[in-house]
Structure 1
Amino acid sequence: MSSHVLAFDVGTSGVKVVVVDTAGGLVDSAYRAYGLLMVGDAGVEQDLDLIIAAALDAARELVDRAAVTISGISVTAQMFNVVPVDHAGRPLGPMISWLDQRGEVAAATLAKVLPPAEQFHRLHAVVSGKDIVPKILWLRDERPDVYTAAAKLLDCKEAVVMHLTGVAVTDHAGASAYRLFDQSTRDWDEVACLLTGVDPAKLPTVRAATEVAGHLLPDVADRLGLSADVAVYVGVGDVPASQLGSGAVDPGDLHVSLGTAVYFGLAMSEPRPDPRQRLGVLAHADPDQWILWLEIATGGAALAWAVRMLGLDRPGPVDYGRIEQLVRDSADDMDGLLFAPWLSGERVPVFDDSARAAFVGLGLHHGPGHVLRAVMEGVAFQMRWALEYAIDYGQDVNRIRAVGGGTMGSEWTQIITDILERPLETVDQPQDAAAVGGAACALVGSGAQPDYAFLTARAAVARTYRPDTSRALEYSERYAHYRRLYDALYPVYHPTTGGEE
């Protein structure tokens, strides 16, 4: 490839589109925002047509402005969503967001038919209401007309690629996110589909991330001002894309994404099993590697909630410099205040969709700065708990690369570093990591790059945060108290069980 790649990064709150050169260098970018739709107490949806319109609008802006030849397109996007589409790729209803929890009943029903131990054996994971299969089952049971009419049930990236090309295709990592993926054949596991009640005919074709999914449909090409001969690559979702874009490309490399949610991605040379038989690994863009994905359900979303509840977003825009100062000034006066950040349930390591957030230890002297710092510390404590879960898999952790918008605040990043008791490297242009990682699939697929190794040097380290010894010791003691919160609050979340799981 002698020209440039156009890459889409379709997130939860907006889409970023970038143009990169053959070395992965960022040439230009554009962004469009959109929102979420809350449906009742547990439903969260997004308008796929609105997302695609925003993506194409941003892409056309870049094509007109960049004045370079685009010879390849790649897409990365948020994962663990479900959108039903017809044979032309048109959505038959809203996209069910990864934040949606309406699949809880379906997950509980599935557990009666396929107990957790059997799920782990067959699906390589125990699914919860936030996973794709329960979302599909909810759609089948609650929207039977839509389910029946759906030609395909796609995740977000796959829906965007189908809109661009007319082809329903997913990559190995995307397929493994369904938990219906056969790790040996690297295709759909028809027995798993049968056991869960998911029609495999409604799933996209599985291919490598570096393969060409198809070429631009004529009407899409006209809208973008590009040739219909432009190749669209299969690409990967945001977890493996961020792993690549952060430069964490070797086994043992860990990346952490500080976004709406927080998650770790740990690169592995083999699909190591969970000692607790709960959480399975994902496939990787690199066919020789796997990713252990560990999500903390609310990260940046918890801080955004606190800012909103404290009225610090009014009249707007949010003064993050002031927030950092409030947090900094509260460091030595927390007086044991703890925050459990389970605003929308929690994933690793409690796997409890019913868990809810709580402040413990509030006193009359606590003010906005203490509350904000407690939220930051609570997310970081949960991250430490998740990291300890990961270490039990037996994969050594070499380094931690941080990406995402949350890395822009130095105070929060230092708090995370002190609590994890490990150095943390923030990369230059951290909010572009997923888009660049997605573009890398096209660069490798086209032969412009032989493999993903070029990303290590490309992802320059902007700053290395190191633990403060005295602060880390204090946090270690407070972490021991934090670890007791879930068991203590469990009877509140599950009153009918009497506190017993």
Structure 2
Amino acid sequence: MSHEIYILSYDVGTTGVKTCLFLLGERLELTYASLSEYPIHLLENGGAEQDPNDWWNALQTTTREILKETGLSPESIQGISFCSQMQGLVLVDSGFNPVRRAMSYMDARATEEIKKGLGHGLKIEGINAFKLLLSLWITGAVAGSVKDPIWKYKWVEKNEPNLFSKVRWWLDVKEFLIAKCTNQAVMTRDTAFTTFLYDSRKGKGNWSRLLAKLFKINLKHLPPIINSSDKVDGLTKEAAEFLGLEAGTAVFGGGGDASLIGVGAGAVLEGDTHIYAGTSGWVSTVTKQRKVDIDSRMASIVGARSGFYNYFGEQETSGKCLQWVKDHLALDEIDLYLEKKKITDGPDAIYESLFEYMFDSIKDTEPGSEGVIFTPWLHGNRCPFEDSNARGMFFNISLNTGKRLLIRSVVEGILFHKKWILELSEKKVNSSQSIRFVGGVARSSFICQTLADITGRKVERVFQPENVGAMGAAALVALGLGKIKDFEGLKEMIPVKDEWIPNPDVKDKYEKNFKVFKKLYKSNRDNFSELNKFTD
């Protein structure tokens, strides 16, 4: 039997599960990865759902592929854990069977529920003042978005009473998978926080009976709370046979993507800032203080490290905008599809992916896109404004505007929005001058340099930036196994690979565009509402 320590971590995203096998040495080394995709069902009423069994089946597919391709004995895997999308609603019965499809973090149909729950009486920023202040005091945040799990829970209670009557546990994505692995109902602290029913005050760290009563939530539906590095239990015989692993393999709590991507980026010390750009995106800074900015929809969220928070602002669609560009805009002008075989296929392939080719094709376009500005709100937005009706647009197109400039403006628009969040976060916390940039989008050196130019900060990229969520989950397993002493040790295991310095020559162009970018939502808010009334 090998004495090497291997860890399996499951990165459960919006469109698929990426399972990563790590070898634990002086640093965590990714040795193999497998991806299995699944659909998301977007409904006309603003709903967004997924089948939890799709996640579970994807775990089986990817785990068995890794074992087959590596020839690794299941006994060599010392622990498994999860990094997952957050703020989903997975309602299950006593046997951990879903009573309905899971409601994704993108689900925006509970408009009547949030109006009823927060819309009456004296208001602050459109929220009932008493409930707002009480929530801020107890949790450090408030369920002020139609997409928050409380309102999804209330929507099911109102609209699907027969299904709701079967509910035993309220879980999130990774909690469902942990339950399938161990037959245990638990919820990690970071996930519990995002229900906005968690008492995050010093010395508390449990469910708030007062908030549960205030929002009429059945406390019996809420599972026990654990730490992210806690061992939940061993794999059951049934789960081990399904996945192809050894029964009794240690299963750890893990965390949500908003918690573990920062860990995997090495941004774990107070003041460390990271920017994530995947399907969604965010800006996050580690802090020891509970902070909240109601106007900007930003707050300190509970992270994976006890006693620390992540001051956090979220962008609803980030890399998803680039996928939209690839699928619907690039097309034949830059021969993205016509020459696909010459670009990414065959022995003479020049690029690893179509995205890499697309970014290379625009690298010589003018910074600032000749004044064309894109708003990256293709599925609404959360921070610094909450509006599920907001949409993307190209502003200031002229007769000389071609597809390359449009594509560049999409990249810049995504990054302008991150600069906006970073700018607002500085009002409450001091962010670092060096920013760790991670997520699938960070694989592009062109985008890394553009981020440095737009933010005016040094941008750092770690090894495998697209796998930092899985890296964070694996790091917590190493911590739970006692192989890493503390979070400071985690930072040492995740070194910087590349860095980019801002180009001062393009600063004025970007500042001019950014100034206009920030005005576009306010100028078009009523138009968005008029055109997209289904969530009004």
The C-alpha deviation readout for 1:389-418, integer Å capped at 9, x for no partner, is 211113342531111110112222222221
Residue 20 of structure 2 corresponds to residue 18 of structure 1: yes
* Aligned mates of 2:324, 2:99 — CA distance in 1: 32
Change (3 A) 1:429 1:103: same
Q: Which stretch has the larger CA shift, 368-377 or 102-111?
A: 102-111
Residue in structure 2 matched with residue 79 of structure 1 by the alignment: 86
Amino acid at match of 1:121: L
* Aligned mates of 1:353, 1:45 — CA distance in 2: 16
Unaligned runs of 5+ residues in structure 2 are 136-140, 345-352
Residue in structure 1 matched with residue 435 of structure 2 by the alignment: 400
Q: Contact between 2:188 and 2:227, CA under 8 Å: does it hold in 1?
A: yes
Amino acid at match of 1:35: P
The C-alpha deviation readout for 1:460-484, integer Å capped at 9, x for no partner, is 2221111110112210121111111
Residue in structure 1 matched with residue 347 of structure 2 by the alignment: none
Name the SS for the 1:179 alignment partner: coil
Residue 364 of structure 2 corresponds to residue 329 of structure 1: yes
Change (3 A) 1:105 1:413: farther
* Aligned mates of 2:35, 2:268 — CA distance in 1: 27
Of the three residues 298, 310, 313, the one matched with 2:329 is: 310
Change (3 A) 1:178 1:373: same
Of the three residues 30, 33, 37, the one matched with 1:33 is: 37
Amino acid at match of 1:29: A
Residue 510 of structure 2 corresponds to residue 475 of structure 1: yes
The C-alpha deviation readout for 1:304-355, integer Å capped at 9, x for no partner, is 1122222536466763344223422332583311111111111111122222
Residue in structure 1 matched with residue 373 of structure 2 by the alignment: 338
Change (3 A) 1:465 1:41: farther
Calculate the aligned-residue CA RMSD, in Å.
Answer: 2.2
Superposition pairs of residues 101-500 of structure 1, within 5 angstroms: 101-113=108-120, 115=123, 116=127, 117-123=129-135, 124-184=141-201, 185-274=204-293, 276=295, 278-310=297-329, 312=331, 314=337, 319-331=354-366, 334-494=369-529
Name the SS for the 2:34 alignment partner: strand
Q: Contact between 2:235 and 2:248, CA under 8 Å: does it hold in 1?
A: yes
* Aligned mates of 1:233, 1:322 — CA distance in 2: 39
* Aligned mates of 1:102, 1:478 — CA distance in 2: 34
Residue 107 of structure 2 corresponds to residue 97 of structure 1: no
* Aligned mates of 2:296, 2:451 — CA distance in 1: 28
* Aligned mates of 2:12, 2:310 — CA distance in 1: 20
Q: Contact between 1:22 and 1:449, CA under 8 Å: does it hold in 2?
A: no
Q: Contact between 2:93 and 2:169, CA under 8 Å: does it hold in 1?
A: yes
Change (3 A) 1:145 1:419: same
* Aligned mates of 1:334, 1:284 — CA distance in 2: 37
* Aligned mates of 1:275, 1:42 — CA distance in 2: 24
Once the 2 structures are TM-superposed, how far is the Cα of residue 66 of structure 1 from its aligned partner? Answer: 4.7
Q: Contact between 2:330 and 2:407, CA under 8 Å: does it hold in 1?
A: no
Q: Which stretch has the larger CA shift, 168-177 or 404-413?
A: 404-413
Change (3 A) 1:155 1:343: same
Amino-acid identity (%): 26
Name the SS for the 1:25 alignment partner: strand
Change (3 A) 1:215 1:475: same
Residue in structure 1 matched with residue 349 of structure 2 by the alignment: none
* Aligned mates of 1:174, 1:321 — CA distance in 2: 34
The C-alpha deviation readout for 1:9-49, integer Å capped at 9, x for no partner, is 11111111122233432232222122212222512111110
Residue in structure 1 matched with residue 348 of structure 2 by the alignment: none
Once the 2 structures are TM-superposed, how far is the Cα of residue 495 of structure 1 from its aligned partner? Answer: 5.0
Amino acid at match of 2:523: A
* Aligned mates of 1:322, 1:226 — CA distance in 2: 39
Q: Contact between 1:251 and 1:268, CA under 8 Å: does it hold in 2?
A: yes
Aligned length: 497
Q: Contact between 2:83 and 2:256, CA under 8 Å: does it hold in 1?
A: yes
TM-score by length of structure 1 reads 0.94
* Aligned mates of 1:11, 1:279 — CA distance in 2: 23
Q: Contact between 2:299 and 2:313, CA under 8 Å: does it hold in 1?
A: no
